[in-house]
Amino acid sequence: MKEDLPNVYNFIIGGVSLACESAAKKARELGLEPYILTTALEGEAKDTGLVLGSIIDEIYHHDRPFKKPCVIICGGETTVTIRGEAGKGGPNQEVVLSITRKIRGLRNTAFLSIDTGGTDGPTDAAGGLVDSYTYDELMNKNIDIEEYLSKHDAYNALRNVNALVFTGPTNTNVNSIMIGVILGIQLSIENNVQNFNT
C-alpha cells in the first residue's frame, strides 16, 4: 500500500521534448531552420536509420517536406532486436551506421544520434556522428555495413572511421536525440575555381 507523503513534491525538470527544443534553439542561433519531427520515436534502430535517411534524401534533392538548409530533430528510443550472437554496439550507433547507406554522396550533410545518458547500450560511447563520406570511408577499410548491422557490431564499424561520440556518463537520461543537418551546398571549391577560370 502506498504511503501518503503530503510534504513530498515531484517536479519534472527535463525531458526529451526539452532536449529537442534546446537543439532547435541552437540551430536557430546558427542560422538554420530546425524542424522537430517527433519526440516519441520508436522502432528497430537499423530501420529507423533508413527512414530518416530517406527523409534527408528527399529534402536534399527536392526541398520537401522542408527546404534546405535545415536541421531535422527527433527524440525517442529505438531498439535493437538480437537473435543469436551479437557484437558490440547500441541503438544509436546502429541508427547512424544504417543511415550512412542513405546519405552517401549528399554533400554537406551530417547526422548525429546519441543517448542523452552518455552511454549507448552496453558501450562507453554515447552514439555516433556520420556524414556523406562515412559510407565510402567504411568501404575503403573493407567494412561491410550489412554484415556489421546483421551481427549488431556497429561500435567496431564506427570506431574504425572515428565516427563514435564519447561524452562520458551525464547522469541524466531523457532518451535519445537525433539531429540531421542538411546544408545542400553542392558547389565545391574546385567547381568554383573551374567556373571562374572559364
**Average pLDDT over the chain, rounded to an integer:** 90
Residue 134 CA to residue 156 CA, distance in Å, equals 14
Name which of 8-17, 93-102, 151-160, 185-194 the model is least confident about.
Answer: 185-194
Q: What pTM did the predictor assign?
A: 0.86
Most confident among 80-84, 116-120, 176-180 (mean pLDDT): 176-180
Amino acid 12: pLDDT: 66
pLDDT of residue 2: 61
**Mean pLDDT, rounded, for 151-156:** 96
d(CA 157, CA 48): 18
Q: How confident is the model at residue 70 (pLDDT cuts 50, 70, 90)?
A: very high
Determine the average pLDDT of the residues in 77-85. 89
C-alpha cell at 133: 563520406
Flag whether pLDDT at 68 surpasses 50. Answer: yes
Q: What is the pLDDT of residues 18-59, one digit of tens each?
A: 999 999 999 999 999 999 999 999 999 999 999 999 999 999
User: What is the DSSP annotation of 5-18?
Assistant: -TT--------HHH
Residue 139: φ, ψ to 5°: -60, -40
CA distances from 77 to 20, 69, 113, 152 (A): 13, 26, 11, 17
The confidence score (pLDDT) of residue 5 equals 76
> What would the DSSP string read from start to end of 52-86?
HHHHHHHHHHH--SSPSSEEEEEEE--B----S--
Place of cell 551481427: 151
pLDDT in tens, 86-124: 899 999 999 999 999 999 999 999 999 999 999 999 999
pLDDT of residue 187: 44
Domains annotated for the chain, with CATH where assigned, are 16-183 (3.40.1480.10)
Question: Mean pLDDT throughout 187-191?
Answer: 44
What is residue 193's predicted lDDT score, i.e. its pLDDT? 42
Count the neighbouring beta carbons within 10 Å of the beta carbon of residue 194. Answer: 11
User: Which 8-state DSSP code applies to residue 51?
Assistant: H
State how far the alpha carbon of 148 is from the alpha carbons of 97, 102, 156, in Å.
9, 16, 8
